[in-house]
Every structure is written in C-alpha cells, then in structure tokens.
C-alpha cells in the first residue's frame, strides 16, 4: 500500500482559507475524499470551501482560478480516474497532474494533490477515507497542502 512510511505531522493552520476543488465522477469515492479534506481542514483550524467540477480534467482550470483570486491561501484538488479499456485514462491523468503542478508553481499557492489514479474501483474505495478504507487521501492531500503553506509563510515571514 502506498501509505507505508507516510509522515505524521501536526498541522496548525488557523485562518488559512482552503479551496477544495472536487470532481463529480465516482460519487461514493468523491464523497469520502471531500469528507476527509473537510475533516483535515477543521482539525487544522482552517476554513474550507468546496467547489465541484465535472471531472478530473477540469481540476486545473478551477484550481488556477482559485489560486489567482485573493480568496484562498491553499487549493486542494480531489478527483478519481479509473483505468478503462482506452488510453483516455493516461491523457486525463497526465493533463490533470501537469496542470495542477503548473498552478502551484505559477501562483506560489500550495496545491494538495488528491487525484486518485487507480486501476480498479476497489483501489479507489480503499483510498477514499470511507469506513473500511485503508487510507484517507482527501485528508492527506489537505494536510500536505497546509504544511506546504506553513513553510511558505515561514520562509516569507508573512502571515
């Protein structure tokens, strides 16, 4: 399981404003990812706004709009792409991944990467943070983005 050796850090981000940009495909998995992101946001003292998009391909443009605004300090992108019988999976995963990385670099806004790229529905459910899931990737992506935000703030000396 990919969660082996994951760091455990205490995230304190009172006042941080998070945009949780979430795809709509695979409702059960997405509901778990969003719930995990909201739990992690609340535990850190941050405020979160959930913004739904159609699919994972649309995550980067809305993440960019959020990063470009003065409304959010952190963006968390959540989505699910399940491998099918065509190369569509590869194109969507690559475009979403590259686009989200570019948003973070262009705007110096941490982007939590909560895009599940799975071979099967069972793999996605196992990472969704649902009862019985082995991992909570929505929470992990949020915590990673908030820790990155804390580091950027510390390095810049601003708050």
Beta partners for 75? Answer: 19, 111
The whole-number pLDDT of residue 1 equals: 47
| 3-state secondary structure at position 72 | coil
Domain spanning 17-154 has what CATH number? 3.40.50.960
Residue-wise DSSP of 33-65: HHHHHHHHHHHHT-EEEEEE-SSGGGHHHHHHH
Mean pLDDT of each 10-residue bin along the chain, 159 residues long = 64 93 97 98 97 98 98 98 93 98 97 98 97 97 97 83
Instruction: Report d(CA 21, CA 24) in Å as an integer.
Output: 10
The whole-number pLDDT of residue 2 equals: 57
- Catalytic center residues: 88
159's tokens: 């708050």
The whole-number pLDDT of residue 7 equals: 66
Q: What is the pTM of this model?
A: 0.93
Domain boundaries, the chain: 17-154
The whole-number pLDDT of residue 3 equals: 58
The whole-number pLDDT of residue 69 equals: 97
């Amino acid at each position: 399981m990919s969660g082996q050796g994951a760091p455990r850090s205490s995230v304190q981000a009172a006042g941080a404003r998070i945009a949780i940009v979430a795809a709509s495909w695979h409702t059960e998995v997405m509901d778990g990812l969003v719930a995990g992101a909201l739990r992690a946001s609340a535990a850190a003292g941050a405020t979160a706004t959930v913004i739904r998009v159609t699919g994972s391909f649309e995550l980067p443009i809305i993440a960019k709009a959020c990063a470009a605004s003065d409304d959010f300090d952190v963006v968390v992108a959540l989505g699910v792409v399940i491998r099918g019988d065509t190369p569509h999976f590869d194109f969507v995963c690559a475009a979403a991944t590259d686009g989200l990385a570019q948003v973070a670099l262009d705007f110096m806004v941490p982007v939590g990467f909560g895009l599940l790229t799975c071979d099967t529905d069972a793999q996605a459910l196992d990472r969704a943070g649902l009862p019985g899931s082995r991992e909570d990737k929505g929470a992990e992506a949020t915590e990673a983005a908030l820790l990155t935000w804390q580091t950027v703030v510390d390095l810049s000396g601003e708050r």
